[in-house]
Amino acid sequence: MNEDYTDFGYSGDGTAEDLVRWGLDNFHPRIALACSFQTTVLVDMVMKVRKDARIIAVDTGRLPEETYECARDIERRYATQIEWYHPQAAPLEDLTRTKGQFSFRESVENRRECCFIRKIEPLNRALTTVDAWFSGIRREQSAHRSGSGKIERDSGHGGIVKINPIADWTWDQVLEYVKKHKLPYNRLLDKGYASIGCACCTRPVEEGAPARTGRWWWEDEEHKECGIHVRNWNI
């Protein structure tokens, strides 16, 4: 794919670490890393450049215990404080009162509604505080993500800059970095999980299977996105 990022003032050359440094040099303090606590590769890269860099996260209220443990390990290792964002109480209460706790399994529309209330809307609020953000998405994760650039204009969040430093990395490269630097990571990865979201929507995958098959496994493959990384996505 075309890797020309001159419109952003970036040559396109260099490593993931170089791109992280470019992002922080150009946007700090109006930039943050959105972390889902599967691995901590980008956390490590960001913290090595700026100890005061922002890490934001969404607590959907249904995250696995191992995800919270990974977040705790990050705060201890890097002496930082994660900025947590939570669903707004009124819409969440209305959803569970009118449709129950498991409406997300009844239809794609209901699942998207749940994702919007628990995950997308809180992240939307977080991203109103920045001009750019780091994401850990990778092209090999799914067909939808295969066209992701390392730097993009995020039309879904007011046109801010979205930086995907490891977009071209393989999963083996991610694991190699984690092992080399002895990083904390989500222990569910040791149990066969390859993509980790809410506990009720995530399960292990068979060895060699695409990572996203463990998410919303009752849905067709083309629907396996929560909406954060989908352009012009609406419930």
The answer to whether residue 70 is catalytic is no
Residue 15 CA to its chain's centroid (Å): 20
Contacts of 202 (CB under 8 A, 6+ apart): 64, 188, 193, 195, 196, 214, 215
Active site residue: 35, 115, 198, 226, which one?
A: 226
**Rounded CA gap, 107 and 103, in Å?**
8
The edge-to-edge listing of strands for the beta sheet with 160-163 is 83-85, 54-58, 31-34, 132-134, 160-163, 151-154
Q: At 65, phi and psi to the nearest 5?
A: -55, -40
Residues noted as catalytic: 226
